Chain A
Amino acid sequence: MNQWSYVIASWVAVAAVLIAYAVSVVRRARKLGK
């Protein structure tokens, strides 16, 4: 793999984890707030 593959993999991992976690927190808040 070239260097860009590792760079893209890192950024995609960070974006995916942060977005998934943020969505889960917002969903939990909405579910409990009902």
Chain B
Amino acid sequence: MTSSRIRACVRILGVAAAVCAAVLVVLALVVTPADAELGNTVRIMYVHVPSAVTTYLAVFVTALGSALYLLKRSCRWDRIAAASAEIAAVFCGLALITGMLWGRPTWGVYWVWDARLTTFALLFIIIIGYLAVRRLPADPTVRSKRAAIIGLVGAANIPIVHKAVAWWGGLHQSETTLGTVNVQIGGSMRFTLLFGMLTFVLIYSWLLARRVQVEELLAHTESAGLAAAIVERRAEAEAEHIPVSR
């Protein structure tokens, strides 16, 4: 695929994400009814659940990129993992914030150390750790290898987060829409929740495409800067009549 075609696809993806986001606002805040038990706070679910699901997806892509980097030593996979991890941090933060804003009117507290919340907070810390390791001054290969290992650890935490309520219980409710045993919502509410997930996945895909582009430009700038520094140093050495090995 040519670069102009890729750019056109990314642009279409961005427009689709923006249109879906506008439709989601209308569906979630106007069209769907208030829940019989939760009241209007159910409208927070239409951004909270998609944020959490997109976090899972972003962490999974980071782990996939990390695993393929460790197997193939391809910088491209490392860049995809790095880009996805940054987006994962954004969605994970949003899931935590919206969860707290839902918890206050529903449970009476913003935060409780229940199994799902604690494991999800741990996932956020792992993602931040991944991003911190990428910024440590080290050889790029060593840095990428260390980050890849943390990326895999983050993905290993996802099944634990997902099953935390079933295994340890707590205040957080169990699966609402994608559960196989007890589907708790239906009709326009279920449709809006699924549409929210689709919208957030589109937003994630567009952000990933743009963020990978940034990583590629950064790598290009770094290598160009290094080449320029070598040329400059050689010129200095030649001016001082120091023998330079080539």
Q: Verify that A and B bind, or say they do not.
A: yes
Tell me the A residues contacting B by CB distance below 8 Å.
1, 3-4, 6-7, 9-11, 13-14, 17-18, 21-22, 25-26, 28-29, 32-33
Contact status B101-A25, CB under 8 Å: no
Contact status A25-B47, CB under 8 Å: no
Besides A6-B104, A7-B40, A7-B43, 16 other CB < 8 A contacts? A1-B105, A3-B105, A6-B102, A9-B101, A10-B97, A10-B101, A10-B102, A11-B25, A13-B101, A17-B90, A17-B93, A18-B94, A21-B90, A26-B210, A29-B217, A32-B218
Complex CA distance for A21 and B178, rounded to whole angstroms: 29
Contact status A21-B217, CB under 8 Å: no
Complex CA distance for A4 and B101, rounded to whole angstroms: 11
Asked whether any CB of chain A lies closer than 8 Å to the CB of B237, the reply is no
Contact status B210-A4, CB under 8 Å: no
Asked whether any CB of chain A lies closer than 8 Å to the CB of B48, the reply is yes
Given the known interface contacts A10-B101, A17-B94, the answer about A3 and B217 at a Cβ–Cβ threshold of 8 Å is no
